[in-house]
Chains A and B, each alone.
Chain A
Amino acid sequence: MNAIVSSAADAIQIRNLAKRFGAFTAVKDINISVPAGSFLVLVGPSGCGKSTLLRMLAGLEAPTEGEIAFVGETVSSGAGGVISDAGRRNAGLVFQSYALWPHMTVAANIAWPLKVAKWSRERRDRRVREVLALLGIDALAKRYPAEISGGQQQRVAIARTIAPQPSILLFDEPLSNLDAKLRIEMRSELMRIHRATGATSVYVTHDQVEAMTMATHVAVLNNGRVEQFGKPIDLLRQPATTFVATFLGTPPANLLPAVRSGDFLMFGDVDLAFSAAARGHESVQLLYRAEDLCVGAVAGRPSVEARFAEAAPIAGRTMVTAMIGDLRVTGMTDGYFSATPGEAITMSFIRGPDAIFAVSGERIDQ
């Protein structure tokens, strides 16, 4: 499943990694490698094991099996536990809760890790000023964490993590506690910092938009496994499983169940594709992007009757959601569109299916 070929000098290499808590398996069979300077995003629904994976990278948890290597050097393994301590693997972690030490001022929070690393006072002060400026929070140096806003705390947490100039930066859902506007701002801020520091970054999120915008590499996790790993655009274009296909992308893509009938794959009584594409499967799932469905009949294209549910304008077009029986489908239409919920509308498939999956979820058309 590795879309990207790994090499020995990869900044982060994860091999056959597994973590079990008693009988519960949090993650298993993880194989990911990324070169130096990449921005790896681990994305998946809550409980998929992405945070556990990150904590193993940080050295806060020991793996049960497999190993993790930073720049060719094994830092953790199932056999050896945490070989290289959290503090000694040249990695920094930004916590979801920010974990700012409440008894230290902003400046002291940033300086403390440097003090632990035995930096000289002048070097420390210079570095603190530098990162404060980099994040635009110079004015907050003397404040305590409880006296600044959530967004500012977030900046301090990032400043504290990048101050010792780690070669690997780890982020645990860092933007999930911010409001929507601030989140978008901080997203670009983080990408700017990533470019400025050049540190290899691993970023955990459940927000697929963050994953698609920020990542050079994305690993989609589900139930403790990597469903697919690769470049964001490849995952979007060539999803390997129905999970990846429906989890990534805005607006969400549609999956339509179809059965073979003679030469055609039928969705209800509509023939959508030739059955050759099903490669011998009797039942399949067809992937249609929202932009491949439109409202109204189109000459020569198959169409279905649906009941209108809701509409949302997006960038001059309108995203229309409708129900076909119990199935929710999303299409796009030009201009602004609205209707009464429950009203019958026609939806047409203006292109063929983007991908075909078996009922069990894996892709069968490539």
Chain B
Amino acid sequence: MTSTSIVMPSGSRLLRSAFLMPAILVAIIAILVVAPLLRILLSTLTPEGLAAWETVLFSPLSTNLWWRPLFNTMALGFGVSIGCLLLGGFLAWLVILTDVPGRRALGLMATLPYMIPSFAAALAWGTVFRNARLGGSAGFFETSGLAIPDWLAWGLVPTAIVLIAHYYSLAYTIIAAALSSVGADLVEAGQMAGARRPRIFFGIILPVVTPALIAAGSLTFAGAVANFAAPALLGLPVRMQTLSTRLFGMIETGQNERGFVIALLLIAVSAAFLWLSDRIVSGRKAFITVTGKGGRTKRFPLGVWRWPLFGLALVVGLLTTVAPILILAASSLAPQGGALFSNWTLHFWIGEGGGAIAQGQAGVFRNPILLDALWNTIQLGLVVAFTTMLLGLALAYTIVHRRGSLLASVLSQLAFMPLLIPSIAFAAAYIALFSAPIGPMPSLYGTFALLVVAASAHNLPFAVQSGRSVLGQISADLEESARLTGAGLIRRLFAIIFPLAIRGLFAGAILVFVKMVRDLSLVVLLFTATSPVLSMVAYRYAAEGFMQFANAITLIILVVCLAASLIAHSLQNRVQKWKES
């Protein structure tokens, strides 16, 4: 029984850490999530803050500060949500429930747009549809002699289209998962009852996936409401303001209190809808499907519509994935903004400054800020991915192991709170908290550390979710059976838990990395000259009208994102060989 004496101390150490860890986690969450929100709320309750409330809501300015942006935001939210449900739902139906050719390829293509930053699509849209109204070089269509009306070049409509092209893949992912959980048995039971296809679709399939539709609708709504890049690039030039661009404008011009008020209102709008949809979905209506043999799904024959619908899906996929990338690439090579395919030059990439092109600006690779920004971006992505997954795993572990306790429910509620908060409003809250020194701590504003802290907090819901799914893959039995062989904690950690968890952790970390690299709305407020990141540099170029540079940098971001995904993919297969295919 020598092993007992070795095991016992580690057991008691665990016991002590069982009290220590929750305390640390509660403190971390309090600082990351609760403190910024309380601070932003408190700063609007000062005399200046109350004045700002009044100005924003009840003054002659309130039309411009609040009502118009609110209207635009809601229009965008509903438009994008409906568009995403239609487009994502159509593709999910096609891929999961029919015998359309090339289902795998279509499915993969439908998940890609979410990997592409929304400002890539916005920039590509501008490159093609920009008209002469605002001066500067016109877009591809107008240069080719096709007049583009204002409503298609600027404002609400193009913003909505660009956001749909980005967020529909989120809707697709959610709806496709729900549809594939509708077992073939459920459909066949309907067939046995003599129901025809429309009846089965509306009577069985649609009601079963309704919770997923509501979830997809509310998440795309929240995404559109919170998005900063698309309305900023396509709306601001014609003074179309959404709540997020308004918020940015206020803070940018030093009117912090008004900015904070708008941030709180934006949080309220976004959270209200997410909360409402959660209410509708939860309870009795949250169906637990009893899946049949291996989750077999029923595929309906499309008949003569097979190829036309395939063509339609392919066009949608290409327009939202390949097309923006090609447009950005062509634009970054074309000296004339509109003439995408002539006189290609590498000037915008590696050209020396001082020439006639681009007002003497040097190519992006000659720009010292760019290399700085590239390094910063990758560093930010890596650090945040690491901190987020670590925090997520610790939180998920505590929540799972203390299920039912007050501590667990408080932790999980708090950890999921950032989900309700648009990232730009979250950034505003961080400014409210950290723009001045707190006690002995210096002001963090403008530092890399603040970016990391804010980003980790923002990604917390996702991290906890993936931490839970990772832990869910390791059943207690597996660890206990290893314990019974006499293996110590460290040994178990490395021999059992780590190999089983690594794939999930890795997948989660890569997603966080990609999210950070392509993020604009969180960093747009927190970034400063000392901590530039790629997306910010691209946005600055675009705001100053240097579209080719902006497009070139966006391409770099895309390449980094894609490379990360590919590395993740190849590493995963190497790490867990038994899960191949």
Name A residues whose Cβ lies closer than 8 Å to a Cβ of B: 58-60, 85-88, 91-93, 95-104, 112-113, 116-117, 144-147, 153, 160-161, 164
Could you say which of A95, A104, A161, A164 contacts B188, with CB atoms under 8 Å apart?
A95
Asked if residues B189 and A95 are in contact (CB atoms below 8 Å), the reply is: yes
Q: How far, in whole Å, are A341 and B203 apart by their CA atoms in the complex? A: 60
Shortest distance in angstroms between B5's beta carbon and chain A's nearest beta carbon? 38
> Once the chains are docked, how many angstroms separate the CA of A112 from the CA of B190?
9
Docked pose: A153 CA to B193 CA in angstroms? 18
A116 touching B195 by the CB < 8 A rule?
A: yes
Instruction: Determine which residue in A85, A88, A101 has the highest number of CB atoms from chain B within 10 A of its CB, and name it.
Output: A101
In the assembled complex, how far is the CB of residue A257 from the closest CB belonging to chain B, in whole angstroms?
A: 38
Please state if A99 and B186 are interface contacts (CB–CB under 8 Å). yes
For B488, what are the chain A residues with a Cβ–Cβ distance below 8 Å? none
Among candidates A87, A96, A97, residue contacting B191 with C-beta atoms closer than 8 Å? A87
Contact A97 B284 (CB under 8 A): no
* With A87-B195, A116-B199: A102-B289 Cβ-Cβ less than 8 Å: yes
Contact A95 B185 (CB under 8 A): yes
Binding site for A on B (CB under 8 A): 183, 185-186, 188-195, 199, 203-204, 207-208, 210, 284-285, 287-293
Interface contact A60-B289, CB-CB below 8 Å:
no
Partner of A102, one of B193, B195, B290: B290
In contact, B193 and A113 (Cβ under 8 angstroms): yes
Partner of B192, one of A86, A100, A103: A86
> Are A102 and B208 in contact, CB atoms less than 8 angstroms apart?
yes
Q: In the bound complex, what is the Cα–Cα distance between A116 and B204 (angstroms)?
A: 12
Q: Please, how many angstroms separate the alpha-carbon atoms of A129 and B287 in the complex?
A: 25
Cross-chain contact A86 with B290 (CB below 8 angstroms): no
* Residues of B contacting A86 in the complex (Cβ-Cβ under 8 angstroms): 188, 191-192, 194
B562 to chain A, nearest CB (A): 37
CA distance A153 to B292 in the complex (A): 14
Q: In the complex, what residues of B have CB within 8 A of residue A95's CB?
A: 185, 188-189, 292
A92 engages B192 (CB within 8 Å): yes
Closest chain A CB from B439 CB (angstroms): 52
Question: Which residues in B have their C-beta under 8 angstroms from that of A58?
Answer: 188, 192
A-B contact pairs, 10 of them (CB 8 A): A85-B194, A87-B193, A93-B188, A97-B291, A98-B290, A99-B290, A101-B208, A103-B207, A104-B207, A117-B194
> How many angstroms between the C-alpha atoms of A58 and B492 in the bound complex?
51
Contact call A96/B189, Cβ cutoff below 8 A: no
CA gap between A100 and B189 in the complex, in Å: 8
For residue A114, which residue of chain B has the nearest CB?
B193
Q: Which residues of B lie under 8 Å from residue A112 when comparing CB positions? A: 190, 193, 203
> Across the interface, which residues of A come within 8 angstroms of B284, CB to CB?
144, 147
A104 CA / B185 CA spacing, docked (Å): 15
Enumerate chain B residues within 8 angstroms of A85, measured Cβ to Cβ.
191, 194
Cross-chain contact B193 with A101 (CB below 8 angstroms)? no
Across the two chains, which residue of chain B brings its CB closest to A144? B284
Across the interface, do B293 and A96 meet the contact criterion of CB distance under 8 Å? yes
Complex CA distance for A153 and B199, rounded to whole angstroms: 24
How many residue pairs link A and B with beta carbons under 8 A? The number is 90
Which of A59, A97, A104 contacts B290 (CB under 8 A)?
A97
Partner among A59, A91, A97, A145 whose Cβ is within 8 Å of the Cβ of B292: A97
A87-B195, A101-B189, A102-B288 given; 17 more Cβ-contact pairs under 8 Å = A60-B188, A60-B191, A85-B191, A85-B194, A86-B194, A87-B193, A91-B192, A95-B185, A97-B290, A97-B292, A98-B185, A100-B290, A101-B207, A102-B186, A102-B287, A102-B289, A112-B193
The smallest beta-carbon distance between A77 and chain B, in angstroms, is 19
**Contacts of B193 on A, CB cut-off 8 Å?**
87, 112-113, 116-117, 164
Please provide the 5 A-B residue pairs with the shortest distance between their CB atoms, ordered closest to farther.
Answer: A87-B194, A113-B193, A99-B185, A97-B292, A102-B287
Q: Is the CB of A96 within 8 A of B194?
A: no
Report chain B residues within 8 Å CB of A147. 284
Q: Is B208 a contact of A145 with CB atoms below 8 Å?
A: no
Residues of B within 8 A of A98 (CB): 185, 290
Q: Is the CB of B194 within 8 A of A145?
A: no
Given contact pairs A95-B185, A97-B185, A99-B186, A146 touches B191 in the complex (Cβ within 8 A)? no
CB distance from A299 to the nearest CB of B (A): 53
Contact check, A145 vs B290: say whether CB atoms are below 8 A apart.
yes
**B192 contacts across to A, CB distance below 8 A:** 58, 60, 86-87, 91-93, 113, 161
CB atoms of A153 and B207 under 8 A apart:
no
CA distance A101 to B190 in the complex (A): 9
Least Cβ distance of B185 to chain A in Å? Answer: 4
Residues of B within 8 A of A97 (CB): 183, 185, 290-293
The residues of B that contact A146 with a CB separation of less than 8 Å are 287-288, 290
B185→A101 contact, CB < 8 A: no
Name the residue on B nearest A60 (C-beta): B188
The chain A residue sitting closest to B188, CB to CB, is A60
Give bound CA distance, A85 to B190, whole Å.
Answer: 12
Q: Given the complex, which residues of A lie within 8 Å of B290, measured CB to CB?
A: 97-100, 102, 145-146, 153
Task: Identify the closest chain B residue to A51 (Cβ).
Answer: B293
Q: Report the separation of the CA atoms of residues A26 and B204 in the bound assembly, to the nearest whole angstrom.
A: 30
Quick one: which of A88, A104, A160 contacts B194, CB cutoff 8 A? Answer: A88
Closest to A93 in B: B192
Residues in B neighbouring A116, C-beta threshold 8 A: 190, 193-195, 199
Bound form: Cα–Cα A241–B41 in Å: 83
Of the listed residues B204, B207, B290, B293, the one surrounded by the most CB atoms of chain A closer than 10 A to its CB is B290
Complex CA gap A112/B323 in Å reads 47
Q: Considering the chains assembled together, what is the distance between the CA atoms of A97 and B291 in angstroms? A: 7
A99 to B207, CA, bound (A): 15
A88-B338 Cα distance, complex, nearest whole Å: 62
Which residues does chain A contribute within 8 Å of B287, judged by CB atoms? Answer: 102-103, 144, 146
**Closest CB of chain B to A290's CB: distance in Å?**
34
Of chain A, the residue at the smallest CB distance from B207 is: A103
Give chain B nearest CB distance to A174 CB in angstroms.
12
B16 to chain A, nearest CB (A): 41
Most B CB within 10 A of own CB, among A98, A116, A164: A116
Closest to A150 in B: B290
Residues of chain A with a CB closer than 8 A to B208's CB: 101-103
Are A99 and B210 also in contact (CB < 8 A) when A85-B194, A116-B199, A145-B290 are?
no
